[in-house]
Amino acid sequence: MAVDEFLLSRLTDRPSTSLRFYQWERSTASLGCSQDAARAVDADFCRRRGVDIVRRITGGKLVLHDREVTYALVSSDDSLFSMTVTESYRRISKALSLGLRKMDLQPELAGAPPDDYKRGALPCFSHPGRDELQASGKKIVGSAQKRTGKKFLQHGSIPLEHDEAFLRSVTRLPDEVERMRMTSLSELLGRPVSFDWAVERLLEGFAEFFGATFERLSFTPEEREAIRRLQRQKYEDAGWTFRQLGPAS
């Protein structure tokens, strides 16, 4: 997450785009920027099970990063992505969709979610949001975006496998809530799916959709130190992760 924010911070007015795919060292719950941690995550359970908790700079709802592909795209190129959140979100979803089709899946853009999902503390993968991708009627990609003018960061999660019971334990999800509309690449394809295999096809989808070629990104020692400093000062700071966002309900 610190790398994602660093890539966003170093964008200039010159059109530039970076795309990352990564995994997490440990199971990690990421909170949306404006979420109330006390309502969204069971910190005691996470502590007992060794699940890390972080807060994103993007919005949206809690995501459990566990056996999945995380993608992150930062850009200042409005000729590719437009100046609006909605249109840039749709274009990235279409690129992701093309990558999923290269896995022999048939994803589609979802419509508007129900009001209880939009207003409540349900986790991200309980229901697809507008223009998020679903397959076989279940959510397969969850994404969130932060935009400053024409510069933006969008990142999201694509489960390789999923464990609904584990997600329910991490979140403060009431027992009476029905089964979540979530799925995974392995479930859809009926076989184990590796991170490298999935990323190769997702990258092909982005390259084809945007007519782009990619060069490997590397950081200088100074940039790596800036990322580590951001990690220490923000993403490892409980004051940021568990900050009080308003009066307790």
pLDDT of residue 177: 61
pLDDT of residue 116: 55
pLDDT of residue 249: 33
**Mean pLDDT computed over 177-192:** 86
Whether 190 shows a pLDDT value over 70: the answer reads yes
CB-hemisphere CA count at 13 Å for 61? 23
Closest CA to 171 of 25, 23, 27, 29: 29
pLDDT of residue 115: 58
**Mean pLDDT computed over 109-134:** 64
pLDDT of residue 30: 96
The region of weakest confidence among 64-78, 160-174, 226-240 is: 160-174
Query: With pLDDT > 90 as the criterion, what percentage of the chain qualifies?
Result: 67
Taken in order of first residue, the domains within the chain and their CATH numbers are 2-241 (3.30.930.10)
What residue spans of the chain are helical by DSSP H?
Answer: 2-9, 37-40, 43-49, 78-81, 85-101, 115-119, 164-170, 185-189, 195-210, 221-230, 238-241
pLDDT of residue 182: 86
The region of weakest confidence among 48-52, 63-67, 112-116 is: 112-116
pLDDT of residue 235: 96
**Mean pLDDT computed over 90-110:** 94
Cβ neighbors of 203 (< 8 A, separation 6 or more) are 19, 21, 99, 214
Of residues 151 and 85, the one with the higher pLDDT is 151
pLDDT of residue 248: 39
Contact 126, 181 (CB under 8 A): yes
pLDDT of residue 181: 77
What is the SS3 assignment for 215? coil
pLDDT of residue 120: 53
Dist. CA 18–CA 16, nearest whole Å = 7
**Mean pLDDT computed over 21-46:** 94
Residue appearing with tokens 């899946």: 105
Whole-number average pLDDT of the chain: 88
Dist. CA 184–CA 198, nearest whole Å = 12
Confidence of residue 245 (pLDDT cuts 50, 70, 90): low
How many separate helices (H) and strands (E) can be counted in the chain? 11, 10
52-97 per-position pLDDT tens digit: 999 999 998 899 999 999 999 999 998 888 767 888 888 999 999 9
Q: Which candidate in 46, 124, 135, 144 is catalytic?
A: 124
Contact 181, 137 (CB under 8 A): yes
Residue appearing with tokens 């003018």: 149
- Quick check: is 46 catalytic? no
Q: Are strands 28-31 and 52-55 parallel, antiparallel or unpaired?
A: parallel
